Amino acid sequence: MPDSYAPVLSVDLGAMLANYNLLCRRALPAICGAVVKADAYGLGAAMIAPHLKRAGCAHFFVATVDEGLALRRVLLPGVKIYLLDGLPPGAENDIAAAELIPILNTLAEIERWRSFQRGPGAKAAALRQAGLHFDTGLNRLGLDRRATLDLIGDPHLLDGCNIGLVMSHLACADDPEHPMNRTQLQAFREIAANLRLPPRLDGGGRPLLSLAASSGIFLPSDYHFDLARPGVALYGVSPVLGAENPLAPVLRLQAKILQLRDVDLDMTVGYGASHQVRGPTCLATIGVGYADGIFRSLGNRGAVFVAGQRAPIVGRISMDLMTIDVGHMPRQAVQPGTLVDLIGPAAPRGQSIDDLATASGTIGYEILTNLGPRFQRRYSGG
Ligand SMILES: *Cc1c(COP(=O)(O)O)cnc(C)c1O
């Protein structure tokens, strides 16, 4: 029996595919992969990835080996699954057996992959692909400047490796005017021009070059190279700071009114008594809280929408509950059991994920990846 008090997360797979198609058009002549790490940013990779595959997506990115193994169980071999976090020691056999593609981030990982390739089953090893990640300024993951120069200076360091992807990642792509974009583009071009790779033993041609994630797709086409790696834009989050969002909203987030109460002057609301009631009004208590990924920073700041009308959040957010002021609404619009909107529908009758993120003091990525297991997940439009 589904818990009818549970909050609801509705995912519109049709809108997600429309976003994928829009990203594919924007990325041309590059092809478009999909980043489905962190369980497709919390929306459910097992539901999302097969739809993308049917739409023609053949390159999927996850962060960890476990994510890759789980994704391989729902996607047949032939579809490429890349591991952004690299090659953990001891994972080589699992990675090879599931035909995952580790993206090598250090010389030590390259050396470890090479010695695995020389081990038992070396013939089949020729077919195992790996990727290379060059850091061009994010200073996070990937071969640093010194390792990059070492690799360019001694191509034999890659002997026996079948490199199918060469990538880097932009630090400031959501700001098209940022000078870092050009600097990183130039660095990536130089690497691509100077890197000498061993011949592909699987008959593949030169490796795919990849620089752009969601925001990079909205930079000029010289940032697109061969393969784009959008994640968050698939799920409708705005890719460019301060610009109109061209993507379709993919999710709607709702929770139920569990209880209504009339309150009067002299009363306070919630833990810490942080909200002072200013006159007779009506409060609704909703069954969703910070354990579900509704940020505590929204207390006394954000709002939800009830039947298309804004209702301010009053008092602190608690673990499983939050309170809103509905004194300005007709009573028949607010009843126990009424679903209120935290994300969606479109303004002015609702707010976007970016609106909720801004009110929470964070970004859409963090909202998505914090949505907890108590949401009933409903998929439509598939
Ligand atoms: C997460 C990630 C992506 C996807 O980024 P979005 O901004 O969600 O499109 C692409 N590449 C790398 C290396 C990543 O870590």
Q: Is 166 helix (H, G, I), strand (E, B) or coil?
A: strand
pLDDT-above-90 percentage for the chain:
90
CA-233 nearest atom, ligand 1: 9
309-314 and 322-325: which strand pairing? antiparallel
Whether 98 and 218 map to the same domain: the answer is yes
Q: What is the pLDDT of residue 222?
A: 97
Same domain, 216 and 257: no
Residues 285 and 136 in one domain: no
213 shares a domain with 163: yes
Ligand 1 binding pocket includes 213 (Cβ within 6 Å): yes
C-alpha–C-alpha distance, residues 131 and 168, integer Å: 11
Tell me the residue type at 12.
D
- Nearest atom in ligand 1 to the alpha carbon of residue 214 is 9
Length of the chain: 382
Any domain includes 310 = yes
**Is 137 part of any domain?**
yes
Mutate to test the pocket of ligand 1, among 61, 101, 175 (most ligand atoms within 8 A of CB): 61
CATH code where residue 321 lies? 2.40.37.10
Would you say residue 8 lies in a domain? no
Question: Does residue 262 sit in the same domain as residue 338?
Answer: yes
* 22 found inside a domain: no
Are residues 56 and 91 located together in one domain of the fold? yes
Determine which of 8-17, 115-124, 351-360 has the lowest per-residue pLDDT on average: 115-124
What average pLDDT does the segment 306-311 reach? Answer: 96
**What's the pLDDT tens digit per position in 203-237?**
788 999 999 999 999 999 999 999 999 999 999 99
CA distance 148 to 136: 10
Q: Is 277 in the pocket of ligand 1 (CB under 6 A)?
A: no
Q: How many domains does the chain have?
A: 2
Do 11 and 49 contact (CB within 8 A), yes or no?
Answer: no
Q: How confident is the model at residue 45 (pLDDT cuts 50, 70, 90)?
A: very high
* Residue 173 belongs to some domain of the structure: yes
Domain identity same for 194 and 291: no
Q: List the residue whose alpha carbon is closest to atom 6 of ligand 1.
A: 231
Instruction: Tell me the average pLDDT across 5-34.
Output: 98
The tokens describing 157, both together, are 């360091």
User: Is 161 within a domain?
Assistant: yes
Give the pLDDT band (50/70/90) at residue 353. Answer: very high
Whether ligand 1 lies within 6 angstroms of the CB of 334 is answered as: no
Residues 156 and 46 in one domain: yes
Domain assignment of residue 243, yes or no = no
My answer on whether 227 and 301 are in the same domain is no
User: Is residue 324 predicted with pLDDT exceeding 90?
Assistant: yes
Range of the domain at 98: 33-235
Residue 50, classified by CB atoms within 10 Å of its CB into exposed (0-12), middle (13-18) or buried (19+), is: middle
Query: Which of residues 235, 264, 296 is at a domain's end?
Result: 235
Let me know if residue 346 belongs to a domain. yes
Q: Is 270 in the pocket of ligand 1 (CB under 6 A)?
A: no
Output the pLDDT for position 201.
73
Shared domain check, 278 and 151: no
Give the end of a domain, one of 184, 211, 235. Answer: 235
pTM reported for the whole predicted model: 0.96
Q: Which of 82, 169, 175 has the most ligand 1 atoms within 8 A of CB, as the residue to mutate?
A: 169
pLDDT: which is higher, 362 or 127 = 362
Looking at residue 121, its pLDDT comes to: 67
Please check whether residues 189 and 262 belong to one and the same domain. no
Residue 247 CB less than 6 A away from ligand 1: no
In this structure, are residues 100 and 68 in contact, taking their beta carbons and an 8 Å threshold?
Answer: yes
Last residue of a domain, one of 206, 235, 264: 235
> Are 274 and 220 found together in one domain?
no
What's the CATH number where 123 sits? 3.20.20.10
